[in-house]
Structure formats: C-alpha cells, structure tokens
Amino acid sequence: MSSFSSSYNIHTLINEVTQLLADRGIEVDVTADPARKVQRSQGASNLLSGLGVTPTLAPEQGGVDLDGHLAYTARIHGD
C-alpha cells in the first residue's frame, strides 16, 4: 500500500456518475432540493472514503478560505 493519499472532488464524481447513468439510459433526478443536494454530496463523500480516496471540494465550495476569514470576522466580531 502506498503512503500517497489520493483525493477527488465530490461534485466532479456526482457529475460523472450522473452522465454515466444517463448514457446507460437511466433517468436521474438532479433536483435543486437542498436536502437532495446534501444527500448526493454525502453519498459521494462516503463512496470516495470507502475507496480510500480523500473527498474534496472546489475552493469556492468551502474547500479553501478565499477571503482571509473576512466573512467569519464580520460575523463573529462585527468588523
């Protein structure tokens, strides 16, 4: 077993699986319902983790702090 840790974006996985199912003639329901979005994200994350791959997010989806904690500081300290 390698000590190298693989990672993969969960939303990329969701999009690829959605396309694979559509290519196989399976109709998928990708609704905008927030609960379903969370369920898809958790499922993709669990699958990747189960395969020994670190699930990741794109920076703009919360994976990286792009604003230097400005939003946090404003919420917590009112600055």
Q: pLDDT tens digits for 8-25?
A: 999 999 999 999 999 999
Q: pLDDT tens digits for 28-57?
A: 888 878 889 899 999 999 999 999 999 987
Beta-strand runs (E) in 1-79: 7-9, 54-56
Tokens of 3: 């000590």
pTM check: above 0.85: no
User: Which residue is listed with tokens 């609960």?
Assistant: 35
Residue 8: the pLDDT is: 92
